[in-house]
Amino acid sequence: MLVATLSKRLLRVGQAKRCGLSLRSFSDAKDKDLVLTSIDGDTGVATITMNQAPVNSLSLEMCQAITTAIKEVESQPEIQSLVLASSLPGVFCAGLDITELHKPDEKRLTDFWHSFQQIYFDLYGSRLATIAAIAGHAPAAGCMLALSCDYRIMVSGAGSKKPSTIGLNETKLGIVAPSWLGYQYIDTIGQRQAELGLSLGLLHQPEQALAIGLVDELVPREEVLSRAQAEAVKWGKIPAKARLASKMLARKARLDHLAATRKEDNDFFRSFVTNETAQKIIDGYLQSLSKKKS
């Protein structure tokens, strides 16, 4: 068995293949390494690292690559826990790829939202214990990725001139988070903090995020990944069936609701985004992002 036979080293899938291990289906070069999957041979902890420069924004392909990676890790029965991380310094995930929303092709837009919903099903509903290693900004759908995990470890803001931020800031952009994402927020930080955060489109610095329960721990930047992996070991030792049943106590009704209204949610999203007013907002926002650069 993989976990039993490997010495303490991290394996990328390509390496695993060269070692003759049966990890055939792991997402690898075929996704241009949008995500990298590694497994610690001693602990059995898998790490999925988002790797789409410059900001890990969630394009259709990125959403699909994340889902593929989660499914492939889940298909390994000896793996009980997963860390979701970023390879990019300073950014966990910048949320939806806004270019997907700009003058979209309707078919691609439908597929795009479907693939984003799929991450919610696969990560929020995963049988694995999931730990987010948030070593940078996590706005909007980046925050959703973190909320979909079981435990969140964020880089501390102490001493940083430009601390990372996390939150559902959609309102500030003139758009509204979908209800299932809003409920994830409410379920995590409570009604009042979620109301404030959603209404004002707040992005929280790490210390504020810890204070309202949006993240569970803060650590120095260089410790985020190792601390997340250590936490994943702890979670992986909890009896798996009991752990999953406990997770589902809180999440099953939410997951079932989106499953039942998935098409409606997608139809609403498509009509919202293709509306002229939304397109103006998106156009302006894209310009503001590129102006920031110049």
Ligand X SMILES: CC/C=C\C/C=C\C/C=C\CC/C=C/CC(=O)SCCNC(=O)CCNC(=O)[C@H](O)C(C)(C)COP(=O)(O)OP(=O)(O)OC[C@H]1O[C@@H](n2cnc3c(N)ncnc32)[C@H](O)[C@@H]1OP(=O)(O)O
Binding site for ligand X (CB under 6 A): 54-55, 57, 90-91, 94-99, 137, 139-141, 169-170, 173, 175-178, 268-269, 272-273, 289-290, 292-293
Which residue number, 29 or 53, has a Cβ lying nearer to ligand X? 53
Q: How far is the CB of 164 from ligand X (least distance, A)?
A: 8
- Hey, CA dihedral for 58, 59, 63, 69, is it positive or negative? negative
What is the C-alpha separation between 280 and 143, in angstroms, rounded?
A: 24
Q: How far is the CB of 102 from ligand X (least distance, A)?
A: 9
**Residue nearest to ligand X according to CB distances in the complex:** 95
Residue 264's contacts (CB-CB under 8 Å, 6 or more residues apart) are none
Which residue number, 76 or 188, has a Cβ lying nearer to ligand X? 188
- Hey, CA dihedral for 74, 187, 58, 10, is it positive or negative? negative
Note if the bond before 54 is cis, omega within 30 degrees.
yes
Q: How far is the CB of 26 from ligand X (least distance, A)?
A: 27
Matching residue, tokens 């990328």: 12
In angstroms and rounded to an integer, the radius of gyration of the C-alpha atoms of the chain is: 19
User: 129-134 and 10-12 as β-strands: parallel, antiparallel, unpaired?
Assistant: unpaired
User: 129-134 and 90-91 as β-strands: parallel, antiparallel, unpaired?
Assistant: unpaired
Q: How far is the CB of 94 from ligand X (least distance, A)?
A: 4
Q: How far is the CB of 140 from ligand X (least distance, A)?
A: 3
Which residue number, 55 or 214, has a Cβ lying nearer to ligand X? 55
The total of other beta-carbon atoms located within 10 Å of residue 220's CB is 12
Q: How far is the CB of 79 from ligand X (least distance, A)?
A: 29
Which residue number, 128 or 258, has a Cβ lying nearer to ligand X? 258
Q: How far is the CB of 237 from ligand X (least distance, A)?
A: 34
Burial (CB count <10 Å: 0-12, 13-18, 19+), residue 7 = exposed
What is the C-alpha separation between 10 and 8, in angstroms, rounded?
A: 7
Matching residue, tokens 């939410």: 254
Which residue number, 38 or 169, has a Cβ lying nearer to ligand X? 169
Which residue number, 241 or 291, has a Cβ lying nearer to ligand X? 291
Q: Give me the residues paired with residue 40 across strands.
A: 10
Q: How far is the CB of 86 from ligand X (least distance, A)?
A: 11
Which residue number, 14 or 104, has a Cβ lying nearer to ligand X? 104
The answer to whether 21 touches 41, Cβ cutoff 8 Å, is no
Nearest to 92 by CA among 149, 32, 31, 51: 51
Which residue number, 35 or 177, has a Cβ lying nearer to ligand X? 177
For 91, the enclosing helix (H) or strand (E) is: strand 90-91
